[in-house]
Amino acid sequence: MMNKRLMLLLVSMLLLVGIIVGCSSDGEDTSSDSNGNGGETTGDDKPLYEAWKDKDPSEIEGDITVITHRTDIVDTVYQEYKDKFNEKYPNVNVSFEALTDYGGEIMPRMNTEDYGDVQYLPVQVPIEDIPNFFEPLGTLDEMEEKYLGVEEREVDGTVYGIPIAVTYTGIIYNKAVFEEAGVTELPKTQAEFIDALQKVKDNTDAIPLYTNYAAGWPLTQWEGAISTTAGNVDYYNVDMLEDPTPFDEGDPHYEHYKLMYDVAEKGLIEADPLTTDWEASKVRMNNGEIATMVLGSWALEQVQGAGENGDDIAIMAFPTDAEDTIFSLGADLNISINKNSDQKEAAFAWVDWFIHESGYSVEQAGGISASKDVPLPEALAEAEAAGAQFSMLTPAPEGKEGKLDEIDKESEVGLWLEPNKKILIEAAIGNRDMSFDDVMNSWNEDWKAAYEKVMGE
């Protein structure tokens, strides 16, 4: 009797499973796409990142939340974006959330599904973990044909973000101050740059170079110009992976940060770096109280708009002793889509519109569009015609993607972080009993240990 009842129960369970499976097969196909990247597909196996474009814009609808780091323009410029976006996509309701400390605030939310529908891919997320959180946007081959910078954070041949702008680092300077100082030609070499700063100190009341030491993060902007110092777009992601001690005398990083040290040691920076103020510095530069700051092109518009003398503010190439002067282009934050979003079509529509039609990359980020279909701004087109080289960095060799980041984090040198840059300034102005070579030797020691651990050498 017991065996019969057990048999009847098993048969009933099998029938129930069959019914459930049969019902699910009639629904929408939610299997992984043919690229093997885990993205959603439509019924005809067309990846979602392509399928949404086949629809009439009026057919795309939903409520999406866009998370941004631009607290300064979220209530103004972004509202204008929303209005223009709705002219094309009238049935998508967009709301914005701005985070003051973007990386610090969004990272804890990555442990949940609550990090918006559209956001910027946090640089703190390890590259290999990106597919766990973000929706694939296309294969690397197809995306590279259309966009700049998408190779920087791709995973296994799949792209998960598009740079909201492609920027470059240089020297933002006040033309009126240079003229008053007697700087008649823009300095090209490091020696010419120091000479120009000395003229500013001798002939004007302006601060030759403002480090923004107290804010800290502006010091990290120097790293963005390292390829200009090297004169080589292969240096950062290729050559550095072959060098366990990249801070030796003669190496690009050594020469690059020697300039930072020398400018500070010669008293060509603010008198009291401990009391600098980022927001005030933009106003002071606009007013002619500051001659130069090392910043990305994204800051140009901010400094120009900080007062009545915007026409005096321009950007020049970072000084270099290399044979070729290049503006190495770097990707800004990548716009991305939460893989847990239930409004992905609307999210894709926003991403596409933001990259191609908003004008953000030029008007708000001071760079160029990642889309190869969007023409260069007039000023950069003129520079290109005059021979300026705008080049993306060569990506890391296959199999070594992300290794530079691993070495940097393991070593705690912090190429893109501020602590060691502050130590450099402190040593230069005499607040630390360290020479420049002492600092470089310390970086080399830490880097070499990390290099051997990460690279297995």
Q: pLDDT-based confidence at 431, cuts 50/70/90?
A: very high
Buried b (16+ CB within 10 A) or exposed e, 51-66: bbeeeebeebebebbb
Average pLDDT estimate for 356-371:
88
Are the C-beta atoms of residues 190 and 261 closer than 8 Å to each other? no
pLDDT score for 123: 85
Give the model confidence (pLDDT) of 166-186 as tens digits: 888 889 999 999 999 999 998
* pLDDT of 18 over the 60 cut: no
Task: Tell me the sheet residues that pair with 65.
Answer: 95
Q: What's the whole-number mean pLDDT along residues 343-350?
A: 96
Task: Say what percent of the chain tops pLDDT 90.
Answer: 67
Claim to verify: residue 293 and residue 420 sit in the same structural domain: yes
Phi, psi (rounded to 5 degrees) for 390: -105, 115
Question: Quick one: pLDDT at residue 338?
Answer: 97
Greater confidence (383 vs 76) lies with 76
What is the rounded CA–CA span in Å between residue 159 and residue 341? 17
Of 6-10, 102-106, 145-149, 397-401, least confident by mean pLDDT is: 6-10
Residue ending a domain, choose from 385, 410, 429: 385
Return all residues near 109 (Cβ < 8 A) that are at least 6 apart.
115
Average pLDDT over every residue of 404-422: 95
What residues are paired with 293 via a beta bridge?
172
Q: Examine residue 12 and state whether it is found in any structural domain, yes or no.
A: no
- Same-domain pairing of 378 and 436: no
pLDDT, the chain, mean:
87
pLDDT at residue 26 above 50? Answer: no
The answer to whether residues 287 and 425 belong to one domain is: yes
Same domain, 195 and 248: yes
pLDDT at 34: 31
The pLDDT-based confidence of 362 (bands split at 50, 70, 90) is: confident
What pLDDT is recorded for position 41? 56
Inform me whether the pLDDT recorded for 413 exceeds 90. yes
The confidence band for 88, taking pLDDT boundaries of 50, 70 and 90, is very high
Token digits of residue 253? 């990083």
Geometric angle at alpha carbon 240, from 239 and 245, rounded to 5°: 125
pLDDT at 81: 97
Tell me: pLDDT of 327 over 80.
no
26 within domain boundaries:
no
Query: With 90 as the cut, is the pLDDT of residue 5 above it?
Result: no
Q: Say which residue, 152 or 273, is predicted with more confidence.
A: 273
Question: Based on the structure, what is the number of domains in the chain?
Answer: 2
- Give the range of the structural domain holding residue 71, as residue numbers without chain letter: 53-163+332-385
Max intra-chain CA distance, the chain: 107
Judge if 182 and 234 occupy the same domain: yes
Phi-psi region of 51 (alpha: psi -120 to 50; beta: other; left: phi over 0): alpha
Give me Rg for the CA atoms of the chain: 26
Q: Sheet containing 326-331: which strands, arranged edge to edge?
A: 166-167, 326-331, 389-392
Residue 259 pLDDT exceeds 70? yes
Q: Could you tell me if 304 and 422 lie in one domain?
A: yes
> What six digits make up the tokens of 365?
């980020």
Per-residue tokens: 274: 């401990």
Residue 235 and residue 86 share a domain: no
Angle between the N-to-C axes of helices 436-455 and 419-428, in degrees from 0 to 180, rounded to the nearest 10: 160
pTM: 0.71
Residue-level pLDDT at 358: 96
Find the CATH number of the domain harbouring 447: 3.40.190.10
Question: Does one domain contain both 216 and 190?
Answer: yes
Domain co-membership, 121 together with 241: no
Domain contains 74:
yes
Residues 309 and 448 both lie in one domain: yes
Per-residue pLDDT tens digits for 125-139: 988 999 999 999 999
By C-alpha distance, which of 184, 143, 179 is closest to 160? 143
| Residues 6+ away with beta carbon under 8 Å from 305 | none
Segment (H or E) for 395: none
341 and 437 together in one domain? no
> What value, to the nearest 5°, has the Cα angle with vertex 38 and ends 36 and 39?
110
Looking at residue 117, its amino acid is D
152 pLDDT band, cuts 50/70/90, is confident
Same structural domain, 320 and 340:
no
pLDDT of residue 16: 37
Nearest to 346 by CA among 25, 93, 99: 93
Encode 397-425: b = buried (16+ Cβ within 10 Å), e = exposed. Answer: eeebbebbbbbbebbebbbebeebbbbbb
Q: Is there a domain that residue 70 lies in?
A: yes
The 290-296 sheet, strands edge to edge: 207-209, 290-296, 169-174, 313-317
Q: What is the pLDDT of residue 89?
A: 97
What's residue 279's pLDDT?
92
Model confidence at 48, in pLDDT bands (50, 70, 90)?
confident
Q: Is the pLDDT of residue 160 over 90?
A: yes
Task: Taking residues 227-234, report their average pLDDT.
Answer: 91
Q: Cα(288)–Cα(291) distance, rounded to whole angstroms?
A: 7
Q: What is the pLDDT of residues 365-397, one digit of tens each?
A: 878 899 988 887 765 665 566 566 777 888 888
When comparing pLDDT for 69 and 457, which is higher? 69
The residue among 89, 62, 40 whose CA lies nearest residue 358 is: 89
- In the prediction, which pLDDT does 17 show? 38
In which element (H, E) is residue 32 found?
A: none
Q: Average pLDDT, stretch 93-106?
A: 93
Which residues, 6+ apart, have CB-to-CB distance to 233 below 8 Å?
227, 326, 328, 391, 392, 393, 394
Who wins on pLDDT, 40 or 307?
307
